Amino acid sequence: MTTEVKLSPRERLLEAAATLAYQDGVGIGVEALCKAAGVSKRSMYQLFESKDELLAVCLKERSSAFVATLLPVADDGRSPRERVLRVFERMESQAGTPEFRGCRYLAVQIGLKDQGHPASRVAQQVKAGLTAFFRTEAERGGASDPDVLARQLSLVFDGAGARAETGADKLTGLIAPMVTTLLDAAGMR
């Protein structure tokens, strides 16, 4: 006999927001969110001030899982160069799955256009964290200009994800050589 865990209305709304926003974009309507969650609009507005707040909370609560999936753990014994390459290996692996829709945080920033939107601010923080990771590793690895290298790596990450998401390219065999070229040019160990 299996015991099914029943999610609270809040958890169902967060799950619906995560799923629908990733699949269909941030323009999803309140009605669609509530229907997918099996929650009334009234209940949604009792739990969240607005759809904007719901999206922001959803992104914030999922950010630690995004980071844990993508970034290597601290002090994992790898060189800074290997740690950076590992991020792109994981991205390439994720991009090869049918459900891949690119980076949800980049998609939010593009979809919303408003950098002051609560969900956009969360996305900015997450993306800034990824760039900070690249910068720290670039500095540890002796890169000639850690700031520039971190920005270049972020650009490759976002661009590769967007091309894979749109079906413009398969990432296999493209990312590692490109990132390696950037790391070599920066003198990173």
Report phi then psi at 56, rounded to 5: -65, -45
Q: pLDDT tens-digit profile of 46-57?
A: 999 999 999 999
- Residue 38 belongs to some domain of the structure: no
**What is the pLDDT confidence band of residue 2, given thresholds at 50, 70 and 90?**
low
Q: Helix, strand, or coil here: 8?
A: coil
- Residue 97 belongs to some domain of the structure: yes
Report yes or no: 157 and 130 within 8 Å, Cβ to Cβ.
yes
Return the biggest CA–CA distance within the chain: 60
Find the CATH number of the domain harbouring 164: 1.10.357.10
Percentage of residues in the chain having pLDDT higher than 90: 83
Tell me the whole-structure pTM to 2 decimals. Answer: 0.91
**What is the pLDDT confidence band of residue 70, given thresholds at 50, 70 and 90?**
very high
Give the C-alpha separation, 7 to 95, whole Å.
29
Number of domains in the chain: 1
State the average pLDDT for the chain. 94
Instruction: State the residue range of the domain holding 126.
Output: 51-185
Strands (E), 3-134: none
